[in-house]
Structure 1
Amino acid sequence: MLLDEFENVPAVIEPLGHGMVEEFGICDTMIFSFNGGIVDRVRQIPGVRLGGYLKSLNGLHPWYILENDGLEVAVMLATIGAPMAVGHLEELKSSGFKNFVVLGSCGVLDKSIAADKIILPSSALRDEGTSYHYTPASDEISYDHELLLTMERALDAAGIEHIRAKTWTTDAFYRETPDKVKRRLAAGARVVDMEASAIMAWAQFRSAKVYQFFYTADYVDHHKNEWDARHGERTADCMSFFEVALAIVKGL
């Protein structure tokens, strides 16, 4: 099969610039947020400045530099979907960023997990295509244990409640059928997302330091065969999740 063709050799196109990056400011750590509201709020903070941008056919993808408690950190909107997210991470790492704190929402498969809870993805079922180009084919991939412990220590020190969970990473959120949900639950997944397994594979392939967490959002109800957006339960301000990211940054 095509997805069995992992090759640990240089590619024709490597992330070495190619005019895809304009850099005005680089720092050690990038907060890569799938929540656009967070990035909008951060860029309005006094003193925040443009750090640079990536270029693609979609246009410009800027990042901003924020100083917090004496630390400089970059903040950028992550594009949804594994191929583009990993492509941007490739270019950002080649530009000089060393640490990536990645955050975004996830759906829950296990209804006992309430909305707005912090999840550390300990492993992921690989139901997407990107990861198979960064590591040999397998049903799932585990998060780097030391990086996971680093996140846990930082969140514990900040008094932030969190749990570990296996995630189901899928490219096709409109194809989460009831039977697939049951099978993923049987395989141990408690949440669902669109990028984690690919980001884990990329991080391992490139020896990148990635610290990824989710906050829980919707519920994929396979019992009633319906989607529960849980709008009434999701009461946390998005910047509370940014504070979680900053707690991880401070713990690095």
Structure 2
Amino acid sequence: MRQIVLDTETTGLDWRNGDRVIEIGCVELLNRNLTGRHYHVYINPERGIDAEAVAVHGITEEFLVDKPKFRDVAGEFMDFVRDSELVIHNASFDVGFLDHELSLLGHPKLGAMCSGVIDTLKMAKELNPGKKASLDALCDRFEIDNAARTLHGALLDAELLAEVYLAMTRGQESLMMLLDDEPGMDSLDASGSPIQRPPLRVLRPSADELAEHDRVLQDIVKANKGACLWIPPVPAEEAPVA
């Protein structure tokens, strides 16, 4: 399984307003292992950069004057990500910008050349409702050293995100390995017969534990303003009339 962890920096917040990509950083995962292969490039956007954006990533127009245009690097970028699954934090932002850059040159969008996109921002919010889900917050949660991240940078952020993604999905990996594995020698006794294991003991929650669980759920509901998967939407005919 080949995955590309990807990040971009841009001239501003919205490609619809003419903002462009100025940096792309990618690192490669193969079967959930960092291979050491990466793709990194700075890009001359042929336009100005918003002051607010410079404050975030520190990349100036002067620095990008002699850098290649996107049309000069599009081929090598597409070759690097083609047929991979992309892992991106706040994927709609980066995908929107890159799809726009590719479409300006008549190239297919990322969805046509990649096998899918994993949005780690969405994943983090689903795993920990109500908690901060920025890259810095996730690095703190999973004890990943981000001391070098004084400014946003596409390659550094992609490297950090790869570590965060692997940490977030480590339990899933163990579960899939357990499901995929056939019974091995540890399932047999010395004579080669199946080991008879005692039935699992099921512990039921007490009334106090159920009440505490309900309290935590209510806190999550408040933090998410009611947008929780376990709360079914109210049918239109039953919704209160203003």
Query: Do both share a fold (TM > 0.5)?
Result: no
| Alignment TM class, shorter chain as reference | under 0.3
TM norm structure 2: 0.25
With CA pairs under 8 Å and 6+ residues apart, which has the higher RCO, 1 or 2? 1
TM norm structure 1: 0.24
Between structure 1 and structure 2, the one with the greater Rg is 2
The structure that is helix-richer by fraction is 2
